[in-house]
Structure 1
Amino acid sequence: MKITNRLMIGAVAAFGVSLGTPALAQETITVSTWGGPNHGINTIVWPTWKAWIEEATEGRVSVEVVHDMGPPAAQMEIVADGIADASWIFHAHMAGRFLATQLPEFPTFEEFSSEDAAAAYWDTHQEYLAEAGEHRGVDVLAMGVHGPGQIFTAEQVDSLDGLDGKRLRVGGGVMSDLAEAIGFTGVALPPTGVYEAASQGVVDGAMLTLESLRSFRVAEVAPHTLTVDGGFYRGSFAIVMNPMFWDKISQEDRQAIEAVSGESLSRLFGYMMDVSDQRGVEFGKQHGATFTQVPEEDVEMLRGVTEELIADWTRDVAERGVDAEAALAHFREQLALAAEDEGIADRVVSQ
């Protein structure tokens, strides 16, 4: 269903938040955002990208961020329809459309930063995954992942057996597959709906990231965290642009914007997730949250499940022209290389 211009006008009038468009700016990238005003995407990523763009284009192009133009699952449509010029999307919100983007979601049982993972993901997308054509209708400016997804429960459990019969929030993608394998009931909810659902007893907990302890108030309703190294899953994101925006600016300015997007913007997204997770853990500990590592026998079970999920995914993405084995090998190689590169922290202008 198309999002109407009438809704757009109302959203911009009611919720538009400018990051301070400079007087000399000739064009402005209108960014549709979701997540609360204090979420890292809004306090770290957009302000930094805005500063990069203004510097790269010598002030000819700026960024304006608009909240609440539509729900998270509608962001792709909002950009493709030209209601906004850019946004960030969570691939699992659009079940069926995105499959190749599950590549970074599978459990790895290894610790690594979201910044390094995002840099590796960007390179892998450009080399292998873009062939699937899953982002048709928009241009991809960056790829991103969130931090290790863990399991949060209202009642403390110390193994996967303790989840039997429980109802936990899932967000689609690999999360839903893991829910079936582990044996709990997955309930599809956006992160913003977890607090209310858990408060009312609709769910017993959630599969979410550590940042959610703070940003989505999970520490108040599901303070017990069951963890595995590297997370039970990770989530896949992209920052996308309406291709028609490029017609408004010069080729020089387009190249300048692309130069501060790509790997740099992907790293920035991952860095934001790392910072947000750290803040979430600190907040959780201050409010009595517990953290329990799953026993080794559960890890071995998860390894077997993961192998099966990857085998199924490999067959499915082959139908979309993706060499899954080569893509996974490339991602792991790039992940090691990304860890050796200089980080993005010194280039972040707002935290």
Structure 2
Amino acid sequence: MKLKFLMASLSLFAASTAAQADTRLLVNCFFGSGHQVCTNVVPAWIEEVERVTEGRVTARILPKSVAPPPEQLNAVEKGLVDVAVQFNGLIQNRIQGPAVAMQPFVGTYDAEKMSVALWDTNRAYFPDEFETVHLLSQFVISPGRLYSQTNTPINSIEELAARKIWVLPGPLAEIAKRLKAGVVSTPAVQSNEIISRGVVDGFLGVDADALRSFQLMPYAQSNTKFEVPIYTTSFSMFISKDTWAELSPEDQDAIMEVSGAALAAKFGAAWDESSAAAEAMYEEEEIEVIEADPAFEAELIEASAFITEKWLKDAAAAGIDAQGALDFYKGQLSK
């Protein structure tokens, strides 16, 4: 009888210990419930995490974001959620490295390639920059584009300067202001209310995917396409440092195997696919694609050089070999 009681007690203890060892992650997705990040990429990552940890780590995406886009990092630091994705442009006062992929006329039209290149650059040049969270991956989305809302395409510095134009906040807004354009700058999620009301007659910074997602196609008459994209944006995905520390080293290694470059590639590929689908709608929506005049592109490259010059100084001040990181990133893209 005593033996049976002892065995039963041990079984209960083992079950209790196993239950305590299991971790359930709360994942925040600010992109919106219908966006590919929330419906495709992150759910697929969760399935992989659960598979490689044999169910010891599970996760669920919250039905509504617990914080606005600028506050994703803060939400994880405060313990509101375990995992989140942050637009790196909104935390450049704290994090400099991933802006290497946000320099004007540096990227390509291949988001998957840029995403893997950014992660490789991170591992080589700024792997420990996030101090308050554990970095899971970084990625780059499809390039921002230039659109005209009138019958006249924007294909010269003079034409751009003559416009009142909605511009994505950050480097693009700084460039447009320096060129004397009339600038209205809001977060991308608020672009429709400005553009649809006719406040501006052009817009710069949304990619083809966002053009469709934010219902901007009816207001675009032409897209000026540069040989090298004028601008790309990067994001970081991270997990609470405390939550990460609770996981066994084996589960940490397993999760990073399906995160890092592998997850970066999936984020980028999802954007490539969505962007291609949106561009396929241009003809039906009567959006003309105009190849940028080489002289216009050259002048824009010169006019935007101050952005990269400032980043090189800021990143170097943060202890990063900024020029080395930029050269490495470009080299990865040229392969």
The equivalent residue for 1:37 is 33
Q: Distance in 2 between matches of 1:70 and 1:222?
A: 31
Which has the larger displacement, 311-320 or 158-167? 158-167
Q: Distance in 1 between matches of 2:332 and 2:193?
A: 40
Q: CA RMSD in A?
A: 2.3
For each residue in 1:262-319, what CA deviation from the matched residue of structure 2 results, as whole angstroms up to 9, or x when unmatched? 1111111111111121122123332222221221111111232344432332222211
Which has the larger displacement, 257-266 or 145-154? 145-154
The equivalent residue for 2:72 is 75
Matched, 1:178 2:175: yes
Q: TM-score, normalised by structure 1?
A: 0.82
Which has the larger displacement, 232-241 or 198-207? 198-207
Q: Do the aligned partners of residues 264 and 110 (structure 1) sit closer, same or farther apart at CA in structure 2, a change above 3 Å counting?
A: closer
- The SS at the match of 1:286 is coil
The structure number with the bigger radius of gyration is: 2
Q: Distance in 1 between matches of 2:108 and 2:102?
A: 14
Q: Distance in 2 between matches of 1:167 and 1:90?
A: 26
Q: Distance in 2 between matches of 1:281 and 1:186?
A: 26
Structure 2 regions of 5+ residues with no counterpart? 1-18
One-letter amino acid of the counterpart of residue 302, structure 1:
L
Equivalent residue runs for 1:164-313 within 5 Å: 164-206=161-203, 207-313=205-311
One-letter amino acid of the counterpart of residue 159, structure 1:
N
The equivalent residue for 1:140 is 135
Percent of pairs identical after alignment? Answer: 26
Q: Do the aligned partners of residues 203 and 69 (structure 1) sit closer, same or farther apart at CA in structure 2, a change above 3 Å counting?
A: farther
- The SS at the match of 1:303 is helix
For each residue in 1:165-197, what CA deviation from the matched residue of structure 2 results, as whole angstroms up to 9, or x when unmatched? 433333333222322344323333222211122
One-letter amino acid of the counterpart of residue 148, structure 1:
P
One-letter amino acid of the counterpart of residue 54, structure 1:
E
Which has the larger displacement, 109-118 or 318-327? 109-118
One-letter amino acid of the counterpart of residue 183, structure 1:
K
Matched, 1:321 2:330: no
Which has the larger displacement, 302-311 or 313-322? 302-311
Q: Distance in 2 between matches of 1:308 and 1:56?
A: 45
Q: TM-score, normalised by structure 2?
A: 0.85
- Among 26, 49, 56, the alignment partner of 1:53 is 49
Q: Distance in 1 between matches of 2:165 and 2:118?
A: 28
- The SS at the match of 1:73 is helix
Q: Distance in 2 between matches of 1:75 and 1:335?
A: 29
For each residue in 1:19-50, what CA deviation from the matched residue of structure 2 results, as whole angstroms up to 9, or x when unmatched? xxxx9x93222111122323221222112101
For each residue in 1:143-178, what CA deviation from the matched residue of structure 2 results, as whole angstroms up to 9, or x when unmatched? 111112111232242413222243333333322232
The equivalent residue for 2:98 is 101
The equivalent residue for 1:4 is none
Give the number of equivalent residue pairs: 312
